[in-house]
Amino acid sequence: MTERTLASVHAGDGFHWVGDGFYVTQLLPGTPQLQQAADPFLLMDYNPVREYPPTTRQRGVGPHPHRGFETVTLAFEGAVAHHDSTGGGGVIYPGDAQWMTAARGILHKEFHEQEWAAKGGRFHMLQLWVNLPGKDKMSEPGYQALTAESMGTVKLPGGGTVILYAGELDGERGPARTHTPIELWDVHLGVDETAELAVPDGHTIMVFVLDGQVSTDGGTIGRERLGLFERSGDVLRLTAPEAGARVIVLGGEPIGEPVIFYGPFAMNTQAEIVQAIEDFNAGTFGQLA
């Protein structure tokens, strides 16, 4: 067993609004070096705890397209309603997640859920873009509603709990169906508790700290910071030395293909980006009011 070593720690790029309902800091893609090292993760937007007043109007992001990847939204507090051009949709509440596969093209919209917005309250979410390999970028789009009750749960021998959205740990599996091997875990640690997590050697491993801080081989990752680990090693060891911690572990098998970004599209070549724009303008992504 070889312990993973922390390679670098990254902060977000400041805060900005996405639509009028999501106040986020962006931690990925970051620098070109981080973008390459984070493969298969393309983007990470984090909406920290924010209090929203009651409202009767829609707050969020209206219809917009995606192609070439998947969006994954984790709900910690608040509620988000999602609808897309395949007919997929629903509401995610605390502990839930939505896993939308844009693939060859989809339109979707995301708003604060109407009843929750009418009451207002604390809102806390995280969204990831997960790349698709070239062979799957033009596959059929889809949507997975992952409820809190469906998540895998692992009680750690050293104390702490791991909630599994995707991937396997200690014989338990998360409910998400993924195109490439992905580990997406929510780790809760008490004071002085240590998690020793088996991770696949060679996979990208990153740790984002929601609360507290964690120490590991090579350093410490503070609150709202993203730690990137070396790719060699099959054990991730995290310790919460002070008041406990909550972290999101992001892992995955690197795809190792070129990534060309253009707004909401992520493809392998510039020609594929041009085709995505042409297809969107031609209405092939479907309709969504």
pLDDT tens digit sequence for 76-119: 999 999 999 999 889 999 999 999 999 999 999 999 999 999 99
Dist CA 160 CA 253 (whole Å)? 26
Whether pLDDT at 273 is above 90: yes
Dihedral sign (CA 153, 171, 201, 39) = negative
The percent helix, strand, coil of the chain (3-state, each to 5) is: 10, 50, 40
Structure confidence at residue 88 (pLDDT): 87
The dihedral of CA 249, 129, 231, 180: what is its sign?
positive
Give residue 277's pLDDT band: very low, low, confident or very high (50, 70, 90).
very high
Q: Does the annotation place 113 within a ligand binding site?
A: no
Domain 6-252 fold is Jelly Rolls (2.60.120)
d(CA 275, CA 284): 11
Give domain limits for the chain: 6-252
Cα separation, 14 vs 27, whole angstroms: 9
Number of Cβ within 10 Å of residue 196's Cβ equals 15
Tell me: pLDDT of 289 over 80.
no
CA angle 113, 116, 121 (to 5 degrees): 125
pLDDT at 248 over 90: yes
- Provide the whole-model pTM: 0.97
Strand order from edge to edge, sheet including 89-92: 60-66, 106-112, 80-84, 89-92
Q: Both tokens of residue 81?
A: 């309603």
What is the pLDDT at residue 115? 97
Q: How confident is the model at residue 158 (pLDDT cuts 50, 70, 90)?
A: confident
Determine if residue 66 is labeled as part of a ligand binding site: yes
| Mean pLDDT score across all residues of the chain | 97
Instruction: Note the pLDDT of residue 242.
Output: 81
What is the tens place of the pLDDT at every residue in 46-64?
999 999 999 999 999 999 9
- Those residues whose C-beta lies under 8 Å from the C-beta of residue 132, and which sit 6 or more positions away, are 68, 69, 70, 101, 103, 139, 179, 180
Are the C-beta atoms of residues 151 and 167 closer than 8 Å to each other?
Answer: no
64 is in an annotated binding site: yes
